Chain A
Amino acid sequence: NAGVMQNPRHLVRRRGQEARLRCSPMKGHSHVYWYRQLPEEGLKFMVYLQKENIIDESGMPKERFSAEFPKEGPSILRIQQVVRGDSAAYFCASSQQQGFSGNTIYFGEGSWLTVV
């Protein structure tokens, strides 16, 4: 059973370009979470999605950032017009169901974005 798959693992973008990060949840998982980890900091929640629905985007920056989890295919975190402050590790996690909040979630290995 493959784990949470993220790609690319490393991405370099110039200021103003777009970054697209992809996340395939574990098999059987329909809940996806995106977190951002800035250098020397802990993880900060960004967004929680189910298939075709954004459940909680309270941690998403108001501009330039968007996320989707289509019926088919991976979840996508999209950052438009990247700036140097977007340089961070972006982690995706998935879980099986929402109902019990103690359910274990599984993290991918992250996508490291560097903006030059």
Chain B
Amino acid sequence: AQSVTQLGSHVSVSEGALVLLRCNYSSSVPPYLFWYVQYPNQGLQLLLKYTTGATLVKGINGFEAEFKKSETSFHLTKPSAHMSDAAEYFCAVRAGLGAGKSTFGDGTTLTVKP
């Protein structure tokens, strides 16, 4: 079985500060891991994904995440927050054979203060 824990349901940072959103996972198979962003009343947009290979994954909008197998973590970071980054972020782990069957965390709402 697979599960995802996002530490901190709300994170607040100042504009220009480091963004760090935490995600820990458990998986009975080699994990494929994803980060999605959701803006109010919209669908999810893929930020980045880890499947195999390089453990540091770069995504859109300046985000990146590092897969650490020993820590079962896949934390999302961005060096400098922008006001437009304010949104809800979801970490997910593959949960089945289908490309789209994933187990999602409960989400972290990112607030960016001017």
Binding site for B on A (CB under 8 A): 4, 31, 33, 35, 41-45, 48, 55-56, 91, 93-98, 100-110, 112
Contacts and interface: CB of A to CB of B under 8 A. Distances in A.
For chain B, which range describes its interface: under 10, 10 to 19, 20 to 34, or 35 or more residues?
Answer: 20 to 34
A95 B42 contact: no
Contacts of A95: 98-100
Nearest to A103: B99
Given A105-B100, A112-B41, 11 more contacts: A31-B98, A31-B100, A45-B103, A55-B98, A101-B99, A102-B32, A102-B49, A102-B94, A104-B46, A107-B43, A110-B43
A10 to B, nearest CB: 9
B107 to A, nearest CB: 5
Contacts of B43: 4, 91, 107-110
Interface in B22-59: 32, 36, 41-46, 49, 51-52
B94 A104 contact: no
B103 A31 contact: no
Chain B, interface SS category? loop
Top 5 nearest A-B pairs by Cβ distance?
A102-B51, A33-B100, A103-B99, A42-B104, A105-B100
Given A104-B46, A107-B44, A108-B43, A98 B107 contact: no
A93 B100 CA distance: 7
A42 B96 CA distance: 18
Given A109-B42, A109-B43, A48 B101 contact: yes
B94 A101 contact: yes
B44 A98 contact: no
B11 to A, nearest CB: 15
A108 to B, nearest CB: 5
A12 B101 CA distance: 28
B95 interface: yes
Contacts of A98: 97-99
Q: Which of B52, B92, B96, B106 has the most CB of A within 10 A?
A: B96
